[in-house]
């Protein structure tokens, strides 16, 4: 034990030395004046990223050791540390390095050349204890080691923890899978599919950093609570070039404020909406019912339906998005009007040979049209500049426009701007159908440029102020050096270049593309959602995580092939996780009976442990329910860990099961399971989700008779 403690202490000493070195390099990069602005910025970013990588390793820097049969010893940890004095020999192997793999995969049956695996138990920087597993023993059990059981039995805190110290063999095989396309990871509750996907991202960033880090990785989750829950896993593994979003965040600046009825959500998720959206755009490319008179000085010309129809067809034939094709429409109409006007104005006195006269007249007419309010109004009426939000809002709030586009009446709503999650893929599709409004883009760019200039001027003023202070301060004033450094950094960051982080740039840019995308709870995504995701990742590199048995939305996946074959028919592979590391066997037995009722062909995952605590059920009246919930909360408050009360929508003091997907709690109280089951066709899946959130304790409160699937619960009270 003493020698191991000394080794771990030495690793922390090396870590501190590396931190001091990198911090010095970062400070020097901030104060540097050589090279271009871009080169200085790249240097600052690189040093800052290295600092962040080293910051994550304080807790559990080294968590194990491997001893091989040929006498080699390797220590395994969160990051790699090397001895510069011994030709950069590794003194700590990064868990993602190929040499570290036997730490997770060696078993008694297949020791992979290893003699012993030692797992460290630490408290911050201090090694408290360790456990050894000597391979080759007759009773070796790869799924029952003490480190794993300690991890799964530990109370849950805020946020998901990484599993880097206890990755199991079936999980490691998926994490390190070398597949360039789409990997589908399916597993029941508690199988660790989410955390495996996140560790796979860390592994890909480690092995393919140069290819992936410039554009980053996108992680898509079902709701903000889930993203907050998993948000610390990748930073704890030293990875920061990751963007977290829900399906409602794909359109920058849009806020979801409403929820669609089930029928509307199903319709919006179907690819049939592509025809509806295209027809809605075409419907705004109008022909005049009556000729539109345009007065030009001494003559009046008309935009009739024949002229507009020719211009419309020419514009559509360009294949350009609506807003960009408008220029062709305006050009054709302008050509017709000027030719007619010239023929009438010049009749009898302007010869065809007088080319200059014709050009002068044409130039004057073009100028007049460009300034004519009636002409400009006619162009806006016949081929308006449209935004995705204005078009979709007017479509969904107008029965006439919806009917003209071939949309189902179930899509109609009173408030067109009551945005829902299901609207997001429609808005994203309209971005491509409509194209950019160049005038608006130019206005935004001009405003952004002025803002950057103002910020740069402010930074320069701060720096001048700090420099002036130097004349009035003693050399021993230590505050000046810090203040001056901050001012120099401020001035540098406001020079005319983009200083935002990758995540900030990506979330603000609808056209940003990623090198890899992780999609969690993917069974809930519709066909239209998948179109959005495929746009975000042209390379089609995905880790897809889900469980078809837990699908609650009618627009979601029935099979993975339905969603993936149209894009990556021969480039997706399927892997399953079968061991439940979260839910005790006592609780999983109850959940498995619910699963069998609505998905009899699906095998429930096998729990890795039993905890001896029997789940219970208690019948209460409506009047007794609030007190029963308070009693549960009070009892849990004196225990370690987390708890939640799950119930059907509208029950005070509860949260819907859909808001707990992907989360885990030490203790769960499920309220009114009979109402959850009765709440729509996917009620059984909702109840299954609710029952499998618990890692230790499960209770049920019910009003009516207990559903048959829950009859094995121990009755109390």
DSSP per-residue string spanning 512-547: ---SEEEESSGGG--HHHHHHHHHH-TT--EEEEE-
Is residue 258, in this structure, part of any structural domain at all? no
Q: pTM score, two decimals?
A: 0.77
Is residue 382, in this structure, part of any structural domain at all? yes
Is residue 648, in this structure, part of any structural domain at all? yes
Is residue 379, in this structure, part of any structural domain at all? yes
The single-letter DSSP state of residue 322 is: H
Give SS3 for 317: helix
How far, in Å, CA of 555 to CA of 267, rounded? 8
Query: Which residues, 6 or more positions from 2, have their beta carbon under 8 angstroms from its beta carbon?
Result: none
Strands 616-619 and 292-296: unpaired
Q: Which two tokens stand for residue 630?
A: 């308070």
Angle (CA) 57-59-60 rounded to 5° is 85
- The pLDDT value given to residue 475: 47
List residues forming the annotated binding site for ATP.
187-194
- Domain membership of residue 667 as a residue range: 585-715
Listed in sequence order, the DSSP H helices in 56-129 are 102-105
Number of domains in the chain: 3
CA distances from 462 to 459, 475, 482, 496 (A): 5, 20, 14, 17
Closest to 306 in 3D by CA, of 284, 333, 328: 333
Whether 140 and 281 map to the same domain: the answer is no
CA distances from 680 to 261, 683, 686 (A): 12, 5, 10
| Burial status of residue 688 (CB atoms within 10 A of its CB: 0-12, 13-18, 19 or more) | buried
Closest to 134 in 3D by CA, of 65, 61, 63: 65
How far, in Å, CA of 592 to CA of 584, rounded? 12
Whether 145 and 276 map to the same domain: the answer is no
Closest to 716 in 3D by CA, of 708, 666, 702, 655: 702
How far, in Å, CA of 59 to CA of 68, rounded? 26
Domain closes at, from 419, 434, 449: 434
| Burial status of residue 92 (CB atoms within 10 A of its CB: 0-12, 13-18, 19 or more) | buried
Is residue 180, in this structure, part of any structural domain at all? no
Between helix 37-55 and helix 2-31 the angle, nearest 10°, is 160
Is residue 205, in this structure, part of any structural domain at all? no
Whether 4 and 139 map to the same domain: the answer is yes
- How many residues would you count in the chain? 717
Give SS3 for 397: coil
Domain closes at, from 101, 125, 154: 154
Whether 144 and 276 map to the same domain: the answer is no
List residues forming the annotated binding site.
187-194
Whether 18 and 150 map to the same domain: the answer is yes
C-beta atoms surrounding 153 within 10 Å: 12
User: For position 592, which CATH number holds?
Assistant: 3.40.50.300
Is residue 267, in this structure, part of any structural domain at all? yes
Is residue 634, in this structure, part of any structural domain at all? yes
10-residue mean pLDDT series, the chain (717 residues): 90 92 85 71 78 74 90 90 86 90 77 87 84 62 48 54 67 89 94 89 85 87 86 72 90 91 95 98 96 87 96 97 97 92 70 66 85 94 97 97 97 96 97 79 55 58 55 47 47 54 85 94 96 96 94 92 95 93 92 92 89 95 95 91 93 91 92 90 88 95 93 91
Domain closes at, from 434, 453, 476: 434
Query: Which residues, 6 or more positions from 515, have their beta carbon under 8 angstroms from its beta carbon?
Result: 208, 211, 212, 214, 215, 216, 217, 537, 539, 541
Give SS3 for 495: coil
Strands 62-68 and 81-83: unpaired
How far, in Å, CA of 1 to CA of 126, rounded? 11
Q: Which two tokens stand for residue 420?
A: 């829902």
H or E element: which one contains 469? helix 438-470
């Amino acid at each position: 034990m003493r020698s191991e403690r000394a080794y771990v202490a030495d690793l922390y000493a090396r870590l501190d030395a590396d931190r001091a070195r990198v911090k010095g390099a970062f400070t020097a990069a901030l104060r540097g004046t050589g090279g271009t602005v871009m080169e200085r910025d790249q240097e600052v970013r690189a040093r800052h990223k290295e600092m962040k990588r080293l910051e994550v390793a304080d807790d559990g820097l080294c968590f194990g050791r491997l001893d091989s049969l040929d006498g080699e010893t390797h220590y395994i940890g969160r990051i790699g540390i090397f001895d510069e004095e011994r030709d950069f020999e590794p003194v700590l192997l990064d868990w993602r390095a190929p040499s570290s793999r036997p730490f997770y995969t060696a078993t008694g049956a297949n020791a992979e050349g290893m003699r012993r695996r030692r797992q460290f138990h630490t408290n911050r920087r201090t090694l408290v204890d360790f456990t050894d597993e000597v391979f080759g023993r007759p009773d070796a059990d790869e799924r029952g080691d003490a480190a794993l059981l300690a991890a799964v039995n530990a109370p849950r805190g805020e946020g998901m923890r990484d599993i880097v110290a206890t990755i199991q063999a079936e999980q490691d095989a998926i994490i390190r899978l070398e597949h360039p396309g789409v990997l589908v990871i399916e597993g029941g509750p508690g199988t660790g599919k989410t955390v495996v996907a996140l560790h796979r991202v860390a592994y890909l960033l480690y092995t393919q950093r140069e290819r992936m880090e410039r554009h980053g990785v996108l992680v898509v989750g079902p709701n903000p609570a889930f993203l907050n829950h998993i948000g610390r896993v990748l930073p704890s593994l030293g990875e920061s070039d990751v963007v977290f979003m829900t399906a409602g965040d794909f359109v920058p600046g849009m806020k979801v404020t409403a929820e669609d009825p089930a029928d509307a959500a199903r319709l919006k998720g179907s690819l049939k909406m592509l025809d509806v959206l295209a027809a809605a755009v075409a419907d705004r490319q109008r022909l005049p019912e009556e000729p539109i008179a345009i007065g030009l000085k001494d003559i009046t010309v008309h935009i009739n339906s024949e002229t507009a129809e020719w211009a419309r067809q020419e514009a559509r034939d360009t294949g350009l998005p609506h807003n960009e094709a408008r220029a062709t429409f305006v050009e054709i109409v302008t050509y017709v009007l000027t030719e007619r006007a010239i023929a009438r104005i010049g009749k009898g006195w302007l010869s065809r040979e007088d080319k200059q006269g014709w050009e002068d007249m044409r130039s004057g007419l073009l100028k007049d049209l460009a300034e004519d309010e009636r002409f400009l109004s006619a162009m806006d009426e016949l081929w308006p500049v449209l935004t995705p939000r204005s078009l979709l809002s007017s479509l969904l709030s107008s029965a006439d426009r919806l009917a003209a586009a071939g949309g189902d009446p179930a899509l109609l709503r009173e408030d067109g701007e009551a945005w829902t999650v299901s609207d997001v893929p429609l808005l994203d599709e309209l971005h491509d159908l409509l194209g950019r409004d160049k005038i608006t883009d130019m206005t935004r760019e001009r405003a952004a440029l002025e803002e950057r200039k103002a910020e740069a001027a402010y930074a320069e003023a701060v720096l001048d102020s700090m420099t002036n202070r130097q004349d009035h301060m003693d050399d021993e004033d230590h505050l000046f050096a810090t203040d001056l450094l901050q001012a120099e950094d401020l001035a540098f960051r406001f020079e005319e270049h983009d200083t935002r982080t990758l995540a900030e740039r990506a979330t603000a840019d609808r056209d940003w593309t990623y090198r890899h995308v992780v999609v969690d709870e993917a069974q809930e995504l519709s066909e239209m959602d998948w179109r959005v995701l495929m746009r975000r990742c042209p390379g089609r590199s995905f880790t897809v995580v889900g469980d078809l048995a837990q699908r609650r939305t009618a627009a979601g996946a029935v099979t993975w092939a339905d969603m993936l074959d149209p894009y990556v028919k021969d480039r997706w592979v399927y892997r399953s996780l079968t061991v439940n590391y979260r839910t005790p066997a006592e609780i999983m037995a109850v959940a498995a009976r619910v699963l069998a009722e609505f998905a009899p062909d699906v095998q429930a995952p096998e729990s890795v442990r039993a905890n001896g605590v029997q789940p219970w059920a208690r019948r209460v009246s409506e009047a007794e329910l609030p007190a029963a919930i308070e009693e549960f909360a009070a009892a849990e408050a004196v225990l370690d860990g987390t708890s939640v009360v799950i119930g059907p929508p509208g029950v005070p003091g509860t949260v819907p099961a859909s808001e707990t997907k992907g989360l885990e709690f030490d203790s769960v109280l499920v309220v009114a399971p009979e109402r959850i089951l009765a709440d729509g066709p996917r009620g059984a899946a909702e109840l299954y989700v609710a029952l499998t959130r618990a890692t230790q304790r499960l209770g049920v409160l019910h009003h009516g008779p207990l559903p048959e699937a829950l009859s094995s619960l121990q009755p109390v009270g």
